[in-house]
Chain A
Amino acid sequence: MTKVMGPADGSGLLQIQSACVSFGAVEVLAGVDLELRKGEFVCVIGPSGSGKTTLLRLLAGLLPPTSGSVTFRGKAHTKPSRDVAIVFQDYANALLPWRTAEANVSLALEAAGVPRAQRPARIRELLNKVGLGNSTQKYPTEMSGGMQQRLQIARCLAQEPDVLLMDEPFGALDAMTRQKLQDEVLAIVAESSVTAFFVTHDLEEAIYLGDRIIALEPNPGRVCRVFDVNLPRPRNQLSTREMPEFLRLRRELFDFIQQFEQ
């Protein structure tokens, strides 16, 4: 197993240097180096137990490393920042059920101290962007899973983040909704030049979305390989997925993940 990525050289926007995370005696991540460069789309795959979500929580500042460091724009990143937004998989828990779609987005603006008068226009713009322009007054429980996840994304965009961390955001959605949301996220990222970090267990999703794919191995979680995705953008659900490069990567990732199956 070759280690493709060397120690970060300090040019990254958000980076992890030789970070280890242990919960008691259990080592979840061991000596991880990772660097997110501005504007790139990084996907993370790996078998269960390889610490994908722990890695995301490190980048979010929700979890301090047991050893090693996390830096954001060159400074120690020890607690969550408004500039690093997180899209959680369990949208139902992440949204506030007593607030309408509009008010859920407003929460981010309220936290950032945006004056009341400026909020409605911003909210409208964000909800339109994620295709919820007609559901501003709906409560989350009145929305489908796909709509709720769009709403969470809108709230994250309201933070005007530099980095968007996504933890298996489409894991609970059906295949059609999933593909639609993949394209929407790609469009949003392309438009806002936000840096994206996307955890998934769907190999094809990782190839379809990413510029780079980081493959983790388990017990303890480590970066095993990094795959560069040389597929043209904008991507297309049909033609991109038929490209030889896509199929080659799919094969490689599949073989990679296969070795950990019992």
Chain B
Amino acid sequence: MKASRQMFWFLASVGVFVVLLAGWQALADARLLPRAFFPGPDLTWRALQRGLASGDMLQDTFTTLRRLALGWALASVIGVGLGAIVGTSAWARAWVAPMFEALRPLPASAIAPVVMLLLGLTDAMILTLIAFGALWPMLLTTVHGFSSIHPRRLEVAQSLGLSRVELIWKIALPGALPDIMSGLRLGLTVALILVVVGEMITVQGGLGSSILLAARAFNAPGIFAGIAVLGVIGLVTNAFFAWVEKYALRWQRR
């Protein structure tokens, strides 16, 4: 009963996707815009096939995925690490948290030129850009998670005689995990945006640079093909993360 209902809604949302795709095709076929600027799914698909056949598309995809993973991992290590330190210490919170609030609303894309001046058109520049932007959601959720341990749990830890390290490892960290996970996931979305921005600036391979180059060559299907692959990356990474989260937080769902 429940499974069939889930199946129904899954098919229904696939249906919405198909309708959107068909609408896009119909719009393209109506030639309201020149076909060269606004290709339908058919031309996009053909561009995608060409790109995959030549191997360029696959290479760009891997390059982008690699930068995405590295930049996101860098942000996670800094964000969760720093968040744990700040979150577990009241004076560190009072001391540095206001600065977080000042830096957090800065659009990471605005600091791209600064990073470019410092690091040049390199991978390091892209990774730094991702790390700076994706850091904030991770840092703030981690601080929140660590600073909102229920006082009763601290008393239990005291009563059982847990050491400070044990308290952080066995009580604070698992308790903060739901917050940390949502921060990591938010950070992933930001990282995907910034990897494309970074690649469009450096133009050293990757889907961002391939989209930019396709635009310069008035190759609209190439642009759309790049966007489609980015969409799939977003979808797959998010689904993977949802699965990891579901497993790590399985105690919450019962």
Closest CB-CB distance, A164 to chain B, in whole Å? 11
**Is B6 located at the chain interface by the 8 A CB criterion?**
no
- Bound-state CA distance A94–B254 (Å) is 18
Which residues of chain A are within 8 angstroms of B174 by Cβ–Cβ distance? 96, 98-99
**Is B153 located at the chain interface by the 8 A CB criterion?**
yes
Give the residue of A98, A111, A112, A139 whose beta carbon is less than 8 angstroms from that of B177.
A98
**Is B159 located at the chain interface by the 8 A CB criterion?**
yes
Proximity bits, A11-39, B CB within 8 Å = 1, else 0: 00000000000000000000000000000
Which candidate, A67-75, A80-88, A252-260, is the interface stretch facing chain B? A80-88
Q: Using a Cβ cutoff of 8 Å, how many contacts connect chains A and B?
A: 63
Which residues of B137-176 are within 8 A (CB) of A? 150, 152-153, 155-156, 158-162, 166, 170-171, 174-175
Main secondary structure of the interface of B (DSSP, over half): helix
Which residues of A50-90 are within 8 A (CB) of B? 60, 62, 79-82, 84-86, 88, 90
**Is A7 located at the chain interface by the 8 A CB criterion?**
no
A96 engages B153 (CB within 8 Å): yes
**Is A159 located at the chain interface by the 8 A CB criterion?**
yes
With A94-B152, A98-B177 already in contact, the answer to whether A60 and B251 are too (CB < 8 A) is no
Which residue of chain B lies nearest to A113 when distances are taken between CB atoms in the complex? B161
With A86-B155, A93-B150, A96-B174 already in contact, the answer to whether A112 and B254 are too (CB < 8 A) is no
- Bound-state CA distance A85–B160 (Å) is 8
- Bound-state CA distance A112–B170 (Å) is 14
- Bound-state CA distance A111–B252 (Å) is 24
- Bound-state CA distance A139–B249 (Å) is 12
Closest CB-CB distance, A97 to chain B, in whole Å? 6
Tally of contact residues, A, Cβ under 8 A:
27
Give the residue of A85, A93, A110, A141 whose beta carbon is less than 8 angstroms from that of B159.
A85
A94 engages B161 (CB within 8 Å): no
**Is A108 located at the chain interface by the 8 A CB criterion?**
yes
With A62-B155, A110-B170 already in contact, the answer to whether A82 and B161 are too (CB < 8 A) is yes
Which residues of chain B are within 8 angstroms of A228 by Cβ–Cβ distance? none
User: How many interface residues does chain B have, given as a range?
Assistant: 20 to 34
Closest CB-CB distance, B248 to chain A, in whole Å? 9
Which residues of chain B are within 8 angstroms of A79 by Cβ–Cβ distance? 158
Which residue of chain A lies nearest to B162 when distances are taken between CB atoms in the complex? A111
Closest CB-CB distance, A139 to chain B, in whole Å? 5
Which residues of chain B are within 8 angstroms of A98 by Cβ–Cβ distance? 174-175, 177, 249, 251
A107 engages B160 (CB within 8 Å): yes
Which residues of chain B are within 8 angstroms of A88 by Cβ–Cβ distance? 152, 155-156
Residue of B159, B160, B252, B254 with most chain A CB atoms under a 10 A cut-off: B159
Which residues of chain A are within 8 angstroms of B171 by Cβ–Cβ distance? 96
Which residue of chain A lies nearest to B178 when distances are taken between CB atoms in the complex? A98
Closest CB-CB distance, A29 to chain B, in whole Å? 19
- Bound-state CA distance A142–B152 (Å) is 21
Which residues of chain A are within 8 angstroms of B177 by Cβ–Cβ distance? 98
Which residues of chain A are within 8 angstroms of B252 by Cβ–Cβ distance? 97, 141
- Bound-state CA distance A116–B27 (Å) is 67
Which residue of chain A lies nearest to B151 when distances are taken between CB atoms in the complex? A93
Residue of A82, A96, A142, A155 with most chain B CB atoms under a 10 A cut-off: A96
Which residues of chain B are within 8 angstroms of A62 by Cβ–Cβ distance? 155, 158-159
Give the residue of A111, A141, A155 whose beta carbon is less than 8 angstroms from that of B161.
A111
Closest CB-CB distance, A62 to chain B, in whole Å? 6
Which residues of chain B are within 8 angstroms of A84 by Cβ–Cβ distance? 159
Which residue of chain B lies nearest to A91 when distances are taken between CB atoms in the complex? B152
Task: Give the 8 A-B CB pairs with smallest separation, nearest first.
Answer: A93-B152, A111-B160, A98-B251, A80-B158, A80-B159, A98-B174, A82-B161, A139-B251
11 A–B pairs (Cβ distance < 8 Å), ordered by A: A62-B158, A79-B158, A84-B159, A88-B155, A88-B156, A93-B153, A94-B156, A96-B175, A99-B251, A111-B161, A141-B252
- Knowing that A82-B160, A111-B166, A139-B254 are A-B contacts, what are 16 other residue pairs whose CB atoms are under 8 Å apart, sorted by A's residue number? A62-B159, A79-B158, A81-B161, A88-B152, A88-B156, A93-B150, A94-B156, A98-B175, A98-B249, A98-B251, A99-B174, A110-B166, A111-B162, A112-B160, A141-B254, A142-B254
